Chain A
Amino acid sequence: MKIDDQKIRNIGISAHIDSGKTTLTERILYYTKRIHAIHDVKGKDGVGATMDSMDLEKERGITIASAATYCEWKGHEVNIIDTPGHVDFTIEVERSLRVLDGAILVLCAVGGVQSQSITVDRQMKRYRVPCIAFINKCDRSGANPFRVMSQLKSKLGHNAVAMQIPIGLENDVQGVVDLVSMKALYFDGDNGETVREAEIPSHLLEEAKAKREELIDAASMFSDELTEAILEEKEVSADLIYSALRKGTLQREITPVYLGSAYKNKGVQPMLDGVTYLLPCPSDIENVAIDMDKNEETVVLNNDTEKPIVALVFKLEDGQYGQLTYIRVYQGTLAKGSTIVNVRTGKKVKVGRLVRMHADQMEDVESLRAGYIGALFGIECSSGDTFTSPDVNLTMISMYVPKPVISLAIVPKDNKSQVAMAKALNRFAKEDPTFKTYVDHETGDTIIEGMGELHLDIYVERMRREYGADVSTGNPRVAYRETITQRADFNYTHKKQTGGAGQFGRVAGYLEPIADTDFVFENKIFGGAIPSQYIAACEKGFKQSMAKGPKLEFPVTGVKVVINDGASHAVDSSDMAFQAAARGAFKEAYLRAKPVIHEPIMKVVVETPAEFQGSVMGLLNQRRGMIIGSQDEDVMCVIEAQVPLAEMFGFSTVLRSATQGKAQFTMEFTLYRQVPQSIAEKIALEAAQNKKTAA
C-alpha cells in the first residue's frame, strides 16, 4: 500500500436526482479501470438516478453506489463515498458527510441550480466540505453552462470560476478548452477513453483568452506569488494557478467549475484531474473528536500513523460473508490483529480481516492508516461507533442518543414482506441508534419509533426499495408523557383472602416531582416496618406503574417515590403482594399529585429566501410554534423556532407550497413541555377513542 498522504482523496459526488450522478460515477469507474464496460442508465421516466442505480446494481451484481468505492487516478487513490440522496437531516447523512474530505457538486447544464441542488449545497456548507463543480449534460438541448455558473454565484453564493469552456454544445458537443493549459481537449475512442490535446479552434481563442484572464484573476486572490507573476507580466505556470486555486477551494472561497457530458463521454477525465489537483487530502482537513475522559472536550486529531487509533464506523452492509463494517481511520494505523475498543460499548475486539472495496471486488490489506477508508469483517457494532486504541477514550460523535418522539405502526402485506421487514428493521436499528422498533403487545402491531415524520418515512421507503418489503403504515403518533406537578401522600394496603394463601402488604410514603430524571426510588423505612427482602418488590411495583400512567396511559416520567412506612404479615406477605401494594399506592397518590401531559417540542430551523420570511413565520406561529429568532444571511434567512411535534405533520408540504419549494427545514427533538389545557383535553378525548377502538 502506498503511504503518501498527499495522494489520497476521499470524495463524495453530490447531486440531486436526475443530474446524472449514476452515469458520472459509472464513467469515473470506467476511466479508472475499475469496471471494464459501460452500461447505460436506461428508463429515464422521471423516477431518477437513484432508482436507476439500484436497478443497475441488481442487474450487474456490483455495488456502484456502495458505501465507499476505491479507484486510482494518475497515482492518486480516490475513495468515492456514497452521499445519501435524501435531503433531511438524519444521523446517517451527518455521518457520511463527516467521512468526506471534498466533493464534486454535479449540476445539470439545462436544469441548472434547482432547489434540490440548493439543499445538497447547504449540507456541504454545513460541514464545510470543499468542492468543485461539474456541469453535466452539456449535450442536452437547451444546455447553457454559463447560465448555470451565474446561478451558482447568485443562488448558491459560490465564487464560481470556469476551468474550461465548451467546444460545441447540445448536439454538437465535441470537447472542452482547458483554460489552464490553453489546449483543446477531445475525447476519442468508443468510450471517450483517449484524451487528445489539440490547438484551440480559432473561433474560440478570444473567448478562451478572456476566460483564462478571469480564472487567473480569481486565483490570484489566494496567492501572492501568482499576483506578482501577473504584475511582472511573467509566464504564469499551471502549477502556480493550481496551487492558488487549491488554496481557495480548501477555504471554500472559490469553486472551480468543470463541464462536460458524462453520457457522451466528454469531460470526465479533466474533472478527475481537478479532483487530484484541487480537492483536499486527509491531512488538509482538521478532524475533531470528543474526549470522554475530559468532560467531552474536543480534541483535534492528527493524521499521524504512529498515534493511537481513532476510527469511525460510517456504514454497515450485509455481504455474503456477514456484516461488512465500513470504517474511516482518522488517526493511527488500524492493522490486522490489533486490538481496538468500541467506545460506546467498551468492548475490546481484535481486528480480523481488513479489506478495501473496489467496485466489484475487495482487496485484502494488512493495515489501514490514518486518512484511509476500508472495511472490517466479523465485527459486531453499530453504525456511528468509534473504535480506538485501548489507551484512549475518544469518540467521533456525541454519545448522547435522544429518545424517539414519534411512532408509527407498520403492517406487512404478506408473508414474504414480513420476513423482509424483520430483516430490514434489524439492520436499521443497528445503523441508527435513534431508530427503534418493538411489537405492541395489545394490538400485535409492529411499531417503529424515530425522531420525526421524515425520519420514519425514509426508513419505510428504504424497506420497500432495498428489502422489497411491502408494508402499509398507520397514522404517526406522538410520544406524549405524563408527569406529576405536586407532592401527594399514599398509604395503601393490599389484602386478599379468597381461599388458599392470602396476600398482604401495606406501603406508605409520598410521590413528588423530580426534574432531569425519569424515576427515583428512596427507602426511608427504619425499624423494619417492611422487611428488607420486600423493598425491591416495592420498587418494582412502582416502576411497573410508570410504564403506563393512570391518567391517559402515557409513560410517566419525573417521579420520585419515597416510602417511609408499611406493614407486613408473617405468612401472607410476599414479593407479589408488595408489588401489588406498590401499584395500588401509586394509583392512589398519582391523581392527587396533579398529573399533566407533556409533549415533545422540536427545534425547527427553516432556511428560506428572505422574501418568504413573513409567511414562514406565520406558518410556524399557526402551529403553536414559539419563534426564537431570525437570522438574516444575505438573500437567505434562517428562522429558529420551537414547535410541538404534534403540529409538524405535513409541514414539509405546506412549507414547499408557501415558498415555491425554495425553503427547507430541519427538525430535531429539544425538550418535553407541558401541553396547554385545551390541547390536553383533545388528547384525552383521542386517547379514550383509541382505547375504545382497540377494545
Chain B
Amino acid sequence: MIKKEMIYRNPLVKLGYDNEDILSTGGFGAVLAYAGVGKTALLVQLALNMMLREHSVLHVSLNDAVSKVDLWYQEIFHDIAEKFGIAEVNEYWDKIQPYRFIMTFKVEGFSAPKLEERLTDLMEQNIFKPHTVIIDGFRFDEAGRGQLVQLKELAGKYSMGLWFTVHTHRHEPPQENGLPLSFLHIADLFEVIVQLATKGDEVYITSVKGQPKNSAQNDLLLDPATMLIKESQ
C-alpha cells in the first residue's frame, strides 16, 4: 500500500516521464532551484521511490552529515506513510533501508576518482552496488565541465543514473530555455532537467528538459512538506 501511494504521487512520473527510473543507464538528471525550495527533499523522495522498487540508491552529500541525510529520509518517508499503521511503516522502513547508502564528503575533497575508489570498496566486497546515485551539493560553478565528464564516464562504467541538485541564484535571470546562464555550457550532459519554483507559499515543479512530447502537463503543484503532488490534484 505504501509503495502504491508513493508511486502514485511521484511528481516526475506525473509529469510524463514514463520510464519508471526516469533516467537511462549512465544518464544525468538535475533538479534546479533556489536555496531552500526543496531540491534535496525532492531527490530524497525520488530515492525512496527507487528503494521501494528494490533499486539501490547511493546518496552522496557534500553539505550534510550522515545523520542529517538519514533524517531527511526518515522524515519524508514517515510523512508520506503517515496514514498507514505505525507497525506497517516501521516494517517497510526496515525493508527498504538496506537499499540506501549515504556517503558524505567535504565539498573540496570530492572528485570522480575519489567516488570511484569508494564505490569499488563497496562493490568488490559485495556490500552495495548502486542503481542510482544522488549527488547533493555539487558546485557546478567551481567544478567545470571536466569533473562532470569524468562522472559521466563513471556512470556509464557502472551502469548508474546520476541525479544532481543544482543551486540557482536569484541574481541570475534564466535564459530563453529556462536555464541559468552558468548552467548552459553543461546542459547537454543532462537528459532530464526539472526546476522547482515558488509562487507565494506554493511550490511548483516544471519540466525543463527531457519531458516526452505527448505529456499532458508541464507543471504541477507540490505539497511543500513532502514535495509530493498535492492530493487535490
Contact = CB atoms under 8 A, between A and B. Distances in A.
Contact of B104 (A515, A516, A630): A630
Given A640-B66, A640-B67, A628 B109 contact: no
A628 B125 contact: no
Interface string A607-642: 000000110011001000011111111100010100
Contacts, number: 59
Interface stretch (B16-24, B94-102, B149-157): B94-102
Contacts of A618: 125, 127
Contacts of B147: none
A630 B70 contact: no
User: How big is the B interface, by class?
Assistant: 20 to 34
B124 A627 contact: no
Contact of A617 (B67, B94, B106, B122): B122
B69 A630 contact: no
A513 interface: yes
A127 to B, nearest CB: 17
B86 A515 contact: yes
B9 to A, nearest CB: 25
A626 B69 CA distance: 16
B126 to A, nearest CB: 8
A626 B98 contact: yes
Nearest to A616: B121
A673 interface: yes
Given A613-B118, A614-B121, A631 B65 contact: yes
Contacts of B128: 627
B103 interface: yes
Does more than half of chain B's interface fall in helix, strand or loop, or is it mixed? Answer: helix
A477 B202 CA distance: 54
A513 B87 CA distance: 9
A630 to B, nearest CB: 5
Nearest to B62: A632
A626 B90 CA distance: 16
A433 to B, nearest CB: 24
B204 interface: no
B105 interface: yes
A617 B87 contact: no
Interface string B66-105: 1101100000000000000011001000100110011111
A78 to B, nearest CB: 36
Contact of A627 (B69, B106, B109, B127): B127
Contacts of A631: 65-66, 103-104
B125 A614 contact: yes
Interface in A615-674: 617-618, 621, 626-634, 638, 640, 673-674
Nearest to A633: B106
A628 B87 CA distance: 22
B67 A632 contact: no
Contacts of A632: 103-106, 109, 114
Interface residues of A, number: 21
B90 A617 contact: no
Residue of B97, B106, B114, B125 with most chain A CB atoms under a 10 A cut-off? B125
Contact of B127 (A513, A617, A673): A617
Nearest to A632: B105
A630 B59 CA distance: 10
Contact of A515 (B67, B90, B121, B122): B90
B65 A515 contact: no
Contact of B121 (A513, A617, A673): A617
Interface in A513-535: 513, 515-516
A630 B106 contact: no
B115 to A, nearest CB: 10
Given A515-B90, A617-B127, A628 B121 contact: no
Nearest to B110: A632
Nearest to A642: B97
Contacts of A516: 86
A516 B90 CA distance: 11
A617 B125 CA distance: 9
A618 B128 CA distance: 11
Contacts of B97: 626
B70 A621 contact: no
Nearest to A638: B66
A610 to B, nearest CB: 9
A627 B125 CA distance: 13
Nearest to A613: B121
B138 to A, nearest CB: 15
Contact of A628 (B66, B106, B118, B124): B66
A515 B118 CA distance: 38
Interface in A665-690: 673-674
B127 A629 contact: no
A515 B121 CA distance: 38
A291 B125 CA distance: 47
Interface in B103-142: 103-106, 109, 114, 118, 121-122, 124-125, 127-128
Contacts of B87: 513, 515
Nearest to B114: A632
B87 to A, nearest CB: 6
A629 B125 CA distance: 16
A632 B105 CA distance: 5
Nearest to B97: A626
Contacts of A614: 121-122, 124-125
Given A614-B125, A617-B127, A627 B118 contact: no
Interface in A355-406: none
A631 B125 CA distance: 19
A640 B71 CA distance: 14
A629 B103 contact: yes
B104 A621 contact: no
Given A613-B121, A617-B121, A640-B66, A627 B101 contact: yes
A340 B39 CA distance: 50
Contacts of B122: 614, 617
Interface string A551-591: 00000000000000000000000000000000000000000
Nearest to B104: A631
Residue of A627, A633, A673 with most chain B CB atoms under a 10 A cut-off? A627
Contacts of B124: 614
A486 to B, nearest CB: 10
B61 to A, nearest CB: 9
Interface string B51-62: 000000001000
A630 B114 CA distance: 13
Contact of B102 (A513, A613, A629, A673): A629
Nearest to B87: A515
A256 B59 CA distance: 40
Given A613-B121, A617-B127, A629 B94 contact: no
A640 B69 CA distance: 12
A217 to B, nearest CB: 24
Nearest to B65: A631
Contacts of A629: 59, 66, 69-70, 101-104
Interface string A417-454: 00000000000000000000000000000000000000
B103 A630 contact: yes
B95 to A, nearest CB: 11
Nearest to A603: B67
A33 B103 CA distance: 54
23 contacts: A513-B87, A515-B86, A515-B87, A613-B118, A614-B121, A617-B121, A626-B97, A627-B128, A628-B101, A628-B102, A629-B59, A629-B66, A629-B69, A629-B102, A630-B102, A631-B66, A631-B103, A631-B104, A632-B104, A632-B106, A634-B106, A640-B66, A674-B94
Given A617-B121, A632-B109, 18 more contacts: A515-B90, A613-B121, A614-B125, A618-B127, A621-B127, A627-B127, A627-B128, A629-B59, A629-B101, A629-B102, A629-B103, A630-B102, A631-B65, A631-B66, A634-B106, A634-B109, A638-B66, A673-B94
Interface of A: 513, 515-516, 613-614, 617-618, 621, 626-634, 638, 640, 673-674
Closest 6 CB pairs of A and B: A629-B102, A614-B121, A629-B66, A631-B104, A632-B105, A618-B125
